[in-house]
Amino acid sequence: MVTLANKNREEIRSADELEADIEIGKENNFEMISFVDNWTGDIDFGSYLYIRGTEFGGIVSEIESSTGQNRIFVRGATWRGMLEKKIIEPKPGEDYRTVSGKIEDVMRELVAECGLDSLFSVLTTTDETEIEFQFDRYCTLLDGLDKMLSSIGYRLDICYIKTRSEAYVRIQPVPKTDFSDKEEFSQDGKLIFTAQNNQGGINHLICLGKGDLKDRLVKHLYVQKDGSIGDVSYYTGLDECTAIYDYGSAEEPELTQKGTERLREMMNSKKFTVDIDDYIETEMQIGDIVGGRDYITGIVVKKPITGKILNIKDGTYKIEYKIEGGD
């Protein structure tokens, strides 16, 4: 299923001899391993390794040979990882980059500005959805696209396409799908999973912005009972857990925005990690909503898929889904 192509995206052969870990969502990189005896020498810097019709793949940027392990390691960024290495900058004379228009046209403009339009192509559809959005200052292209799309209930869809005449990474905005009513990861499905419930997270964040001493901008953010974030304290006494967020150059409303994002990372959370053997590329993608239930501990999660890891070893394909979020 893994295909090797050269720098010109011309397919060379299948690369079934490789073991692989391809992670998308958080780390956005891949590592593929070949035994020295199986090494053919046709994998080079700039080579493409991918699974057709999926998001799993990327471009080789690192090769390591280990005589002690009798293995050669091939690593690189996934397509999503390449988006992570580009920055959305404010236009000259502006504090923030803002966009407006048809969502596909906006994405196409951003991809071109970041110099990725020779490989990445935004699919043209009949979707006429319009958007107005302000990006964080100097955010990555991946983070910016994710946040922009999420603001209207969409997610980023990525797929490597190979036809007789062309090869490219197709990206498109698609509405998020809530699979939680029909897709719940639990013991009922005889799946291997890990459920984690962290109730010791931060629920009061003191955000420090621009200024010095008594003149410094201070913003208090509090987690509410329903998991939202507000200006009024809910947890007190032994239940209150406080931390500091220092962002010395920030003014309002940026301090509140960044502080809210930071608090969401630090607050109570529930996580599910699910392993599925006999890999089949399902319709569930990063950003879609699924459910998870552990009957032993009573942990129940209804959250977006935040990561997928494809593991290939001894000809067996296994996919791991990561589901996590604030309580």
Phi, psi at 218, each rounded to 5°: -125, 130
Does residue 188 sit in the same domain as residue 220?
no
Counting the structural domains of the chain, the total is 4
Which of 19, 51, 77 is the C-terminal boundary of a domain? Answer: 77
Does residue 273 sit in the same domain as residue 260?
no
Which of 242, 266, 290 is the C-terminal boundary of a domain? Answer: 266
**CATH code: domain of residue 166:** 3.55.50
pLDDT digits (tens, 9 = 90+) for 85-128: 999 999 999 999 999 999 999 999 999 999 999 999 999 988 89
Q: State the pLDDT confidence band at 280, using cuts at 50, 70 and 90.
A: very low
Does residue 191 sit in the same domain as residue 322?
yes
Which candidate, 11, 3, 59, 1, places its Cα nearest to that of 166? 11
Does residue 97 sit in the same domain as residue 117?
yes
Q: State the pLDDT confidence band at 190, using cuts at 50, 70 and 90.
A: very low
Q: State the pLDDT confidence band at 198, using cuts at 50, 70 and 90.
A: confident
Q: State the pLDDT confidence band at 321, using cuts at 50, 70 and 90.
A: confident
Does residue 280 sit in the same domain as residue 192?
yes
Higher pLDDT residue, 304 or 63? 63
Of 140-154, 158-172, 206-220, 264-278, the poorest mean pLDDT is in: 264-278
Does residue 262 sit in the same domain as residue 276?
no
Compute the distance between CA of residue 308 and CA of residue 27 in angstroms, rounded to an integer: 10
Compute the distance between CA of residue 66 and CA of residue 8 in angstroms, rounded to an integer: 28
Q: State the pLDDT confidence band at 243, using cuts at 50, 70 and 90.
A: very high
pLDDT digits (tens, 9 = 90+) for 59-77: 999 999 999 999 999 999 9
Q: Which domain holds residue 141?
A: 86-175
Which of 43, 77, 111 is the C-terminal boundary of a domain? Answer: 77
Does residue 160 sit in the same domain as residue 283?
no
Alpha-carbon separation of residue 240 from 199, 208, 234, 236 (angstroms): 11, 19, 8, 5
Does residue 213 sit in the same domain as residue 158?
no
Does residue 193 sit in the same domain as residue 162?
no
Q: What is the pLDDT of residue 192?
A: 55
Does residue 115 sit in the same domain as residue 65?
no
Quick check: pTM over 0.85? no
Does residue 50 sit in the same domain as residue 171?
no
Compute the distance between CA of residue 101 and CA of residue 304 in angstroms, rounded to an integer: 27
Compute the distance between CA of residue 263 and CA of residue 266 in angstroms, rounded to an integer: 5
Mean pLDDT of the chain, nearest integer:
89
pLDDT for residue 253 is more than 90: no
Does residue 189 sit in the same domain as residue 273?
yes
Sign of the Cα pseudo-torsion (21, 51, 16, 167, in order): negative
